[in-house]
Amino acid sequence: MNSKTKKDALRALVKKATGFEAQETIEEFAELDGEMKLLKRKVTTKVIPPDVSAVKLLIELEDGEKDIFSLSDEELEAERERIINLLKEKYKK
């Protein structure tokens, strides 16, 4: 895997681990006077919540020595928050 692909994959993993918003557009067309005309357009914003399995994978990638499966829910949540804060700081720069 080349460097760009790895960066893209890590960026996608971080996005999934931290949650994100996605816009969805639905358009309805009809034929009027021999031409396709847009009748309706509906744009909705969906909130995609953080994914715990993505957080676990990030933890594993960051610290290969930790056994993430032995962490409690509270420890996983604390680690998730720590990683989110690190990522926020990193992307501010």
Determine the distance from the C-alpha atom of residue 44 to the mean position of all C-alpha atoms in its chain, rounded to a whole number: 17
Structural domain spans, the chain: 3-92
The tens-digit pLDDT sequence of the chain (93 residues) is 677 787 888 889 889 998 999 999 999 999 998 999 999 999 999 999 999 888 888 887 776 655 666 778 888 888 888 888 888 887 776
Tally of residues, the chain: 93
- Which tokens go with 63? 């610290």
Contacts of 50 (CB under 8 A, 6+ apart): 16, 17, 18, 19, 80, 84
Q: Which tokens sit at 6?
A: 């790895």
